[in-house]
Amino acid sequence: MNERRLGVDLFNEVWRLMESREDDDRMLHASHASAYHWGEAPECEPKNRARSEWMCSRVYAVLGRPEPAIHHATRCLEITQQHAGNMEDWDLPFAYEALARAHGVAGNAGESRRFAELARESGESIADPEDREHFAADLRTLT
């Protein structure tokens, strides 16, 4: 099996595990394994790396572990901003969403609100209505 396929399959497994919460250790390891395999794929682009960082951050937020959640969300935003011309219009809003969620887990209410507002503002520029609604639904899950 090729690296890209492994990265994609593991990414999808992480989503399943986030929804089921049947095995948190597997979810955590799968998120890092997905990031690793995507990073090794010849077709890996910065947007894939940013999304891998987003996924790791989300997993750590789900697990209630703020420090690594903030770390990976920050990396997601850095990569997204550094390669802005090669990203989709929803990558930046999701990077802000990751930071809002991570800071929420950390109990940093002010930072969480600040990043949530940046996410909302940048999310308004998502062109595709389905993508925009998917993002809005995810943003509504912020605590």
Helix (H, G, I), strand (E, B) or coil at 86: helix
Q: What is the pTM of this model?
A: 0.96
pLDDT at 4: 95
Asked whether the CA dihedral 127, 131, 136, 139 is positive or negative, the reply is negative
Dist CA 125 CA 110 (whole Å): 24
List the pLDDT tens digit at each of the 143 positions of the chain.
Answer: 699 999 999 999 999 999 999 999 999 999 999 999 999 999 999 999 999 999 999 999 999 999 999 999 999 999 999 999 999 999 999 999 999 999 999 999 999 999 999 999 999 999 999 999 999 999 999 96
Terminal Cα distance for the chain, rounded: 39
Nearest CA among 43, 53, 30, 31 for reference residue 3: 43
Domain boundaries, the chain: 65-143
